[in-house]
Structure 1
Amino acid sequence: MHALVVVAHPDTNSLSHAVAQALADGVSGAGHSVEIADLAREGFDPRFSLNDLAVHRREIAQPADIAAEQARVDRADALVLVYPIYWWSMPALMKGWIDRVFANGWAYEELEDMKTVKKLEHLPVHLIGLAGADMRTYARHGYYGAMKTQIDHGIFGYCGAPVVTSEFLVPVADMSEHLDTARKLGGRVFGAAVSKAAEAA
């Protein structure tokens, strides 16, 4: 099986990149293939333009760069997003990737009767957010619930993609603990997906 790990951080020496690599190592260590999509290094343009709006309206075909991203996701049996939490959400680069790639007609389809067809029910998703505050802060201010609603349900639930893992890695004394956690998560990416599918059946 094949996993696509998408990371959004401009610094390749960041903890986000280290976690993404450790998670990829866990996936490959479990006998699966993995690709890391480094959105910053690859120069992905997150701006939703008039062309993207025309694609949304089904007036024009997807541009080549977005079609390539969709094909990369289509090749994956699981999608993993790794990102630092900025202002209690994902970075603009990651959100823009979703805005442009998870397009009408591919991730979902809006029908004339105002109904929506979910088109990513086959794609298990794992979310790894690198937090700058402890879980008490997220719980006390309602940030944790807000992020789960916005991202897990609002984005992936809308497309039908099941969120199998939704993990916040909060500050700890020894950040290498997060690398160990990421490797373990990587090793369970497909095992967790299979278990989740079995529960739903």
Structure 2
Amino acid sequence: MTDRLRALVVYAHPCEESFGGALHRTVVESLGARGWDVDDCDLYAEGFSPVLTAEERRGYHDVPQNIEPVRNYVDRLRAAEALVFSFPVWNFGYPAILKGFFDRVFLPGVSFRLEDGRVLPNLTHVKKLAAVTTYGGTRMRAFLAGDPPRRHFTRSVWHVTRPERMKYVALYDMNRNTPAALSAHLDRVRREMETL
């Protein structure tokens, strides 16, 4: 067992009975088995609104007032030492609810700060970062499309956290995976969370 850490798991899938739901449960159970404090943030179950309003956009750079509409989520993010996102890739992107989470919660003064026009990391207390995801198409199809979720996660999210350890655990070609392959991937996710 490692030192006790506080992990925020951000889950973005509307169907708990889906394979995405199974991945989410595996993540939460594996981290809990390590003795970590897990804050399980199910965006759909919590009714998170992904819509950045006109008022929020106008006050986007007004630190610290900009956090008021999403203070609960900001507080949870600031308390996390590990950050794990569990989501499917749809249309070569994040589900809208997760994209909205980044738009509304990863704010100036929260995930980054601007100094002389430069974006500097502001979530450096996050020591461990992971994404657990699935793609309908093959890895080649994702590559040819530029794989926006992987690029955003491994560049932008990495940049604002600068973690000691980062993992991007993806299962491609969901449209043709067998039950055995799905089971093997759940085992892989369990192992990856045990070594995060």
Same fold, TM exceeding 0.5?
yes
Letter in 1 for 2:169: E
Which residue is 1:21 aligned to? 25
- Decide which of 100, 110, 125 is 1:122's aligned counterpart: 125
Alignment partners' CA distance in 2, 1:63 and 1:74 = 12
Structure 1's 51 and 186: CA in aligned 2 closer, same or farther, altered over 3 A? same
Question: Contact (CA 8 Å) 2:63, 2:109: kept in 1 or not?
Answer: no
Q: CA RMSD in A?
A: 2.0
1:23, CA displacement in angstroms? 1.1
Where structure 1 has 5 or more consecutive residues not aligned to the other structure, the ranges are: 190-201
Aligned residues with identical type, % of pairs: 23
Question: Contact (CA 8 Å) 2:130, 2:167: kept in 1 or not?
Answer: yes
1:121, CA displacement in angstroms? 2.2
Alignment partners' CA distance in 2, 1:161 and 1:65 = 26
Which residue is 1:159 aligned to? 160
Alignment partners' CA distance in 2, 1:161 and 1:68 = 23
Q: Which structure: greater helix fraction?
A: 1
SS class of match (1:28) = helix
TM-score norm. by structure 2 comes to: 0.84
Which residue is 1:37 aligned to? 41
Where structure 2 has 5 or more consecutive residues not aligned to the other structure, the ranges are: none
SS class of match (1:80) = strand
Residues 1:188 and 2:192 aligned together: no
Letter in 2 for 1:84: P
Aligned residue pairs total 185
Deviation beyond 6 Å, 4+ runs, structure 1: none
User: Which is bigger in relative contact order (C-alpha 8 A, separation at least 6)?
Assistant: 1
Alignment partners' CA distance in 2, 1:69 and 1:147 = 21
